[in-house]
Amino acid sequence: MTQHSLDAVTDHQAELTSPDCRQLFMGFFILGLTGFGGVLPMARHMLVEKRRWLSAEQFAELLGLCQFLPGGNIINLSVALGMEFRGLRGALSALMGLILAPTICVVLLGLVYARYQNDPLVEHLFAGLAAAAGGLLLSTGIKMLAPLWGKWLQLALVVVGVIAIAGLRIPMLPVMLVLAPISIFICARSKA
Partner 1 sequence: MSAVLVSLALLFTQLSVLAFGGGNTILPEMQREVVQVHHWMSAEEFSALFALAQAAPGPNMMIVPLVGWQVAGWAGLLVSSLAKFGPSSIITLIALGGWKRYKDRPWRQIVQRGLVPVTVGLVVSSGLLIAKATASDLSMAGVVALCTLLALSKRLHPLWVLAVGAIFGLALG
> At a CB cut-off of 8 Å and minimum separation 6, what does 67 contact?
73
Least distance in angstroms from the C-beta of 11 to partner 1: 19
Query: Is the CB of 48 or the CB of 79 nearer to partner 1?
Result: 79
Q: How far is the CB of 125 from partner 1 (least distance, A)?
A: 5
Looking at the Cβ atoms of 14 and 114, the one nearer to partner 1 is 114
Shortest Cβ 24–partner 1 spacing (Å): 14
CB-nearer residue toward partner 1: 16 or 90: 90
Whole-angstrom Cα distance, residue 173 to residue 113? Answer: 32
Q: Is residue 5 classed as helix, strand or coil in its secondary structure?
A: helix
Nearest to 31 by CA among 82, 83, 98: 98
Q: What share of the chain is helix, strand, coil (3-state, %, to 5)?
A: 80, 0, 20
Q: Do residues 90 and 21 touch, judged by C-beta distance below 8 A?
A: yes
Angstrom distance (rounded) from CA 143 to CA 147: 8
Least distance between partner 1 and beta carbon 45 (Å): 15
Nearer to partner 1, 17 or 139 (CB): 139
